[in-house]
Amino acid sequence: MTETSFKKLLLSLEKNGYQIIAPQTRGEEVVIDRLPAREAAAINFTKQPFYSFKKFFIPTPEGLFYFSGQSMKPIIDAPKLAFVGLSTLDLLAINLWRQVFEKDVYWQERFKNMILVGMSSAPADKKIFNLWRPNYEENILEHVQFDVFLLKQGTGWEVFSGTRLGQKLLDDFDYEDYQHVQFAGLIREEGVDPSIREIYSKLKLMRPTDKMWQDLGRRCIACGKCAIACPTCFCFDIEDKILNDKKVIRQRSWSSCFYSEFSEVAGQKVFLPTIAEKIYFWYYHKFVRIFEEYSIPGCVGCGRCARVCPVGIDIGQVLAAIANKSRINHE
């Protein structure tokens, strides 16, 4: 696909009523926002945005329904959105959301009106590319769900469709030079990555009273920034907000297990009273509970949590310490 064809792709999306959302450079950062007038050159898929696409898939706050007296009116807000510039890590996060919100009518109705266009670069070294390319579809693209995926090589793009909707989108402007990739499930044929299984088996045996979690608990300030920046954290609070003397809205908003009220129940019982327990629970949820439920980890490896942490806790170091059962480096 050439730049001209890529612009035709964007034009086709707009003609079909989709608002294009893409990562773009703003100052020194890459942010995710509406794309102005098919500006293909404005899309920056080479640098990870500071925040992920999460807010478009899981809005906060999100109105669920109004109720007044005995009547209730659901709120379904599902605009037609086309996400262009999704990385494979973004697509992995969407894999998890599709499992978690499988029976959530609000999420599902919103997702029906979305188109996913992934983008990535091939290695610059052609020798590496030639060796690596035959396995890319099998090892990566077969295990994420997308409509169209563009793999940049040199000055052009190799194009893949992942759904009938993606094929139709390409056919709409008579683009024929693409391959279709059939989704083969979340797990590769060789099974779960051994390193993920190792983290799972070792973390499951640990307790928040272990020294490494106590050390991290003294260091962490429980600000919750990691959960907000994380593309896969999906915990939320439910709140009934009074609009007037006749109308109330129920809405949900992002929350975090680091917040003091998160684990509090009636009678002021708190299940995560210490920071050590909170940070242990965060890792346990991502690498044990989610893994047991969906056979994939609750982490895509984007590193945003380490990037926003005000005290420099690095998830890579924590996972290495779990694997090695060693002390966390505090420098």
Average pLDDT for residues 125-154, to the nearest whole number? 70
pLDDT tens for 257-286 read 999 888 888 888 888 899 999 999 999 999
Q: How confident is the model at residue 135 (pLDDT cuts 50, 70, 90)?
A: low
Beta-sheet pairing, 114-121 with 148-153: parallel
Query: What's the mean pLDDT when you consider all of the chain?
Result: 88
Q: Which of 92-101, 116-125, 137-146, 191-200 has the highest mean pLDDT?
A: 92-101
pLDDT tens for 35-50 read 887 678 788 888 889 8
Q: How confident is the model at residue 137 (pLDDT cuts 50, 70, 90)?
A: low
* pLDDT the model gives residue 226: 95
Question: What is the edge-to-edge ordering of all strands in the sheet holding 62-68?
Answer: 71-74, 62-68, 248-254, 236-242
Using CA atoms, how far apart are residues 228 and 72, in angstroms rounded to an integer?
Answer: 31
* pLDDT the model gives residue 70: 79
* pLDDT the model gives residue 221: 96
Average pLDDT for residues 194-204, to the nearest whole number? 92
Judged by average pLDDT, the poorest of 53-67, 146-160, 308-322 is 146-160
* pLDDT the model gives residue 330: 46
Tokens of 198: 């190792």
Provide the 3-class DSSP secondary structure of residue 295: coil
Q: For 254, which DSSP code?
A: E
* pLDDT the model gives residue 270: 83
* pLDDT the model gives residue 136: 60
pTM (predicted TM-score):
0.88
Average pLDDT for residues 80-97, to the nearest whole number? 94
Tokens of 292: 């047991």
Tokens of 308: 């926003």
Cβ-proximal residues to 323 (8 Å cutoff; 6+ apart), any chain: 195, 198, 199, 202
What is the C-alpha R_g of the chain? Answer: 22
Provide the 3-class DSSP secondary structure of residue 60: coil
* pLDDT the model gives residue 168: 94
| DSSP line for 100-164 | HTTT-HHHHHHHHTEEEEEEEE--SSHHHHHHHHHHHHHHTGGGS--SEEEEEETTEEEEEE-SH
Cβ-proximal residues to 145 (8 Å cutoff; 6+ apart), any chain: 91, 94, 95, 98, 116, 162, 163, 183
pLDDT tens for 243-254 read 887 889 999 999
